Amino acid sequence: QSVLTQPPSVSGAPGQRVTISCTGSSSNIGAGYGVHWYQQLPGTAPKVLIYGNTNRPSGVPDRFSGSKSGTSASLAITGLQAEDEADYYCQAYDTSLSGWVFGGGTKLTVL
């Protein structure tokens, strides 16, 4: 059972918009230190997609965007493409656990 809760799977057709939610608590997302999102393509290492709730590293397409409200965060992907098929993880610092916590991961399927 992960500290941050994500839906196990989401899906969408090419060109559509999907969102992935990440729900935490006052000791992690609600503590305000920032939520980060990672993309893990099949058989590869994770790669940062969004950091600090809304910021995209250079090279990440603007089809990916992040938001945060209270103790929850969301990752939105617009103009879905086949190469977006991957696992997505949210992450935040947890003050009660004194360490990083991840969501359980969401598998995105492009139909």
Residue 76 binds other proteins (CB under 8 A):
no
Residue closest to 74 by CA, chosen among 4, 16, 14: 4
Rounded to an integer, what distance in angstroms lies between the CA atom of residue 102 and that of residue 100? Answer: 7
With contacts defined by CB under 8 A, how many residues of the chain interact with other proteins? 30
Rounded to the nearest whole angstrom, what is the least distance from the CB of residue 9 to other proteins in the complex?
A: 13
Binding-residue pattern over the window 92 to 111 for other proteins, x denoting contact by CB under 8 A: -x-x-xxxxxxxxx------
Residue 15 binds other proteins (CB under 8 A):
no
The string over 42-54, giving b where at least 16 C-beta atoms fall within 10 Å of a residue's C-beta and e elsewhere, is eeeebeebbbebe
Rounded to the nearest whole angstrom, what is the least distance from the CB of residue 42 to other proteins in the complex?
A: 12
Tokens matching residue 30: 């609600």
Residue 46 binds other proteins (CB under 8 A):
yes
Distances (CA, A) of 13 to 8, 17, 75, 79: 18, 8, 17, 9
Which residue in 77, 84, 91, 108 binds other proteins (CB under 8 A)? 91
Tell me the HSE value of 6 on the side-chain side, using a 13 A CA sphere: 25
Please report, as ranges, the residues that interact with other proteins according to CB under 8 A: 2, 31, 33-34, 36, 38, 40, 44-48, 51-52, 55, 57, 87, 89, 91, 93, 95, 97-105
